[in-house]
Amino acid sequence: MRPSSVVIGLLAALVLVVLALLASILHPADTDMQKLADNRAIVEKYGLTDLALFTEARYTRHPSQADLHSAFQDHPGALEHFPTGSLLAPRPSSINPHESLAGKTTSPD
């Protein structure tokens, strides 16, 4: 057998596998869709706001709900936090939505 036939055959097989994987992503299994829908229903039913990924500390369990002085919320536009940002300053545009709110409150928050 010619080496090129072997290698072209292998590559074609790999391409087919990748295409099959991509196709399976475009047409997800019903069970997967059902799982997502069920989870969304649970979120709606219990009013959940966060993933249960970071359960090790109280202030990380609900990153979206933590008060403004906790990690993840110390600056609304910050990209990285722990324990303070060191690499990137937030984009000015990412803070803008909060300005309208900040101006409307009389107490500092």
Partner 1 sequence: MNPWLEKQRHLIDFTLASLGRRKTKNIGLLLAYTLLVFVLASLTLFTHALRSEASFVLAGSPEVILQRMVAGRHDLIPPDYIEKIGRIRGVQKKEGRLWGYYYDTVLNANYTFMARPADEVADGYIMVGNALARERGLAAHNTISFRSYSGKLFTFEVSAVLSPDSELLSADLVLLSENDFRRFFEYPAGHFTDIALSVANPQEVRNIAAKLSSALPDSRPILREEVLRTYQSVFDWREGIVLTVLAGAILAFTILAWEKASGLSAEEKREIGILKAIGWETGDVIRMKTWEGLLISLTAFLLGFIAAYVHVFHFDAAVFEPVLKGWSVLYPRFTLVPTVDGLQIATLFFFTVFPYTAAVLVPIWRAAITDPDAVMRA
93 touching partner 1, by CB under 8 A: no
Asked whether position 49 contacts partner 1 by CB under 8 A, the answer is: yes
Question: Is the CB of 83 or the CB of 100 nearer to partner 1?
Answer: 100
Q: Give me the least distance between CB of 30 and partner 1, in Å please.
A: 11
Q: Does 27 bind partner 1 (CB under 8 A)?
A: no
Q: What is the DSSP string of the chain?
A: --HHHHHHHHHHHHHHHHHHHHHHHHS--HHHHHHHHHHHHHHHHHT--S-TT--SSHHHHSTTTS-TTSTT-SSTT-S--SSS--S-PPPGGGTHHHHHHHHH-SS--
Q: Does 43 bind partner 1 (CB under 8 A)?
A: yes
Q: Is 54 in the site for partner 1 (CB under 8 A)?
A: yes
32 interacts with partner 1 by CB under 8 A: yes
